A and B are shown apart, each in its own frame.
Chain A
């Protein structure tokens, strides 16, 4: 009973005490907010390991082709599917292609899809949400109704429709299409933030100085939402990568220009997993390596996103 009473008192005290909130307008304070966040992130061991892992993975995927003898699309009919050996670390697939080269190249594609689509979706979502939240009223209601509408589309389905019926052959279109369906959550998040931020005194001060709407939105309001945006964006990357893998897995072919200048189906991690899953009984390594790389990367991004969230929003931890 006494313990419960003390707990209750502690709770009430925590709520009654004036909490120091970082003033979003002041540059030094908001800078120190990010410095503080960075310090907290560095203390989070899992997040740090994930960050280092991701940097190494990206380095390997984007520069790997310059160090390897074999190209990702080099077919060698003399060789058959063989397990990992000293010469080919990850083995060879049934067309005689070196799996290591393919996995690294696939990583390049998958990571690019994740990064580019997320960036595009962020740009759309932030501007859209900020404009809706800042102007409020009818503009806001209309813009958010549109978001609600897109939300209720069976969007996986629409993507499949677009992809298959237009036989989209270029991977670059995939970037755009995935981004077009990914910005909705970001728009909602930013709008919510802006709605409360625009009531703060510093916005009033800016207005009384005659600052334009564009300036208030893009130079003062949006920078204050970037912490949350960073967390959300980090967690968007794995979901985009999974969507790409889903489309590749069900057999929608994306074309790229191969190392010999000819258009050919892309080898993303999703494609490799799909290929591997068809032959895993004879060549389990063909499934194992791409899956391992894909999952480890997703895991690292998820851990990093969690770490970022904890670092930027210490209240979540209580």
Chain B
């Protein structure tokens, strides 16, 4: 019961947050100089006027805002300005699964490698394995995707000719493997370090001493007593990481020429495509807020102390 109350409270906080972010983005976009119709300087004034009317740009700003919020609530953002005949929701529906697939695969890859490395180095603390893993983790953290991705293409696609240079082709593994590796490396480093720290912390707890003193097997102690507790900080890390990895795909999408959300975000922003940018902004905010909400729920479920506090 307490959990339901807690969950309800968090949800109540999340919705106004989403609305606030939307409002901020709407007025940010509108406060900027220039308009999406400026680019077409060769357009006759009459046509421009009718276009402005069609997009509702001639109405007062407040009225536009109200209609934006009303429509956004049901997932309708209107038509894009650059891709004139397509609705923003259609563009998102086409591009988002691609970015999401990349992001989720990269996160799974990072999780599996990062978890293993973190646990190994915690249990072999201060041995050469630990030092080696931690040094390579720092190395991984220092090579951002914008360096890794072109390098990957240069080595595996151009020099060795093993993989295609770029493209997507409905996401077969040859096209996915490079982007996923380049995206995941940074998070491997973060996850491995986080987990090593939290495993070491838990190992110092008295109940682990008790478990040892009871004579439990090492495997049981590690999996049931240590890992269950040590994975908690990971939940807090994963939520924002998963939403930021979706932004991180921007770079990888650019290098590997993948038709994901990142490409539309950049071209929309540069061309002042109000509707497209606001649509992607809404999606991104909803993702971030939703992920944080999810993390709070999971933590509340795992640790009763948290939901009593709130």
Contact = CB atoms under 8 A, between A and B. Distances in A.
16 contacts: A5-B213, A8-B212, A152-B288, A152-B289, A152-B292, A157-B265, A160-B269, A161-B28, A161-B269, A164-B269, A238-B141, A246-B146, A249-B251, A287-B151, A294-B144, A299-B142
Contacts of A59: none
Interface stretch (A22-30, A81-89, A112-120, A268-276): A268-276
Contacts of A274: 146
Interface in A272-301: 273-274, 276-277, 280-281, 284, 287, 291, 294-295, 298-299
Contact of B250 (A5, A164, A250, A299): A250
Interface string B259-293: 00000011001101000010011001101110010
Contact of B270 (A162, A164, A273): A164
B146 A277 contact: yes
B136 to A, nearest CB: 11
Interface of B: 17, 20-21, 24-25, 28-29, 31-34, 125-126, 135, 138-139, 141-144, 146-147, 149-151, 153-154, 158, 200, 204, 206, 209, 212-213, 215, 240, 243-244, 247, 250-251, 254-255, 265-266, 269-270, 272, 277, 280-281, 284-285, 287-289, 292
Given A161-B25, A299-B142, 15 more contacts: A1-B215, A5-B213, A152-B288, A152-B292, A154-B288, A157-B247, A157-B281, A165-B29, A165-B31, A277-B149, A280-B154, A294-B144, A298-B143, A306-B138, A317-B126
A291 B34 CA distance: 35
Interface string A138-155: 000000000001011110
A236 to B, nearest CB: 13
Contacts of A251: 266, 270
Nearest to B251: A249
A277 to B, nearest CB: 4
A149 B146 contact: no
A281 B154 CA distance: 7
A288 to B, nearest CB: 9
A242 B154 contact: no
A249 B288 CA distance: 23
A158 B250 contact: no
Contact of B142 (A8, A12, A149, A238): A238
A300 B158 CA distance: 30
A317 B126 CA distance: 9
Q: On chain A, which size bracket covers the interface? A: 35 or more
B168 to A, nearest CB: 19
A242 B144 contact: yes
A50 to B, nearest CB: 10
A167 interface: yes
A295 B213 contact: no
B244 A156 contact: yes
A171 B271 CA distance: 21
A80 interface: no
A318 interface: yes
B209 A12 contact: yes
A160 B267 CA distance: 12
A245 interface: yes
- Scoring A161, A274, A284 by chain B CB atoms within 10 A of each residue's CB, the highest score goes to A161
- Scoring A8, A154, A291, A302 by chain B CB atoms within 10 A of each residue's CB, the highest score goes to A154
Given A164-B269, A299-B139, A277 B255 contact: yes
Given A11-B209, A291-B151, A294-B147, A246 B251 contact: yes
A7 interface: yes
A46 B287 CA distance: 40
Given A4-B215, A158-B28, A161-B269, A11 B204 contact: yes
A66 interface: no
A167 B33 contact: yes
A249 B154 CA distance: 17
Contacts of A284: 154
Given A154-B284, A166-B32, A284-B154, A250 B266 contact: yes
B284 A157 contact: yes
Contacts of B149: 277
Contacts of A7: 209, 212
Contact of B277 (A161, A245, A250): A161
A267 B179 CA distance: 26
A158 to B, nearest CB: 7
Interface in A304-318: 306, 317-318
A5 B209 CA distance: 9
Contacts of B147: 273, 291, 294-295
Given A8-B209, A287-B154, A291-B147, A154 B243 contact: yes
A134 interface: no
Contacts of A72: none
Contact of A165 (B32, B158, B280): B32
- Scoring B149, B150, B265 by chain A CB atoms within 10 A of each residue's CB, the highest score goes to B150
B138 A165 contact: no
A77 interface: no
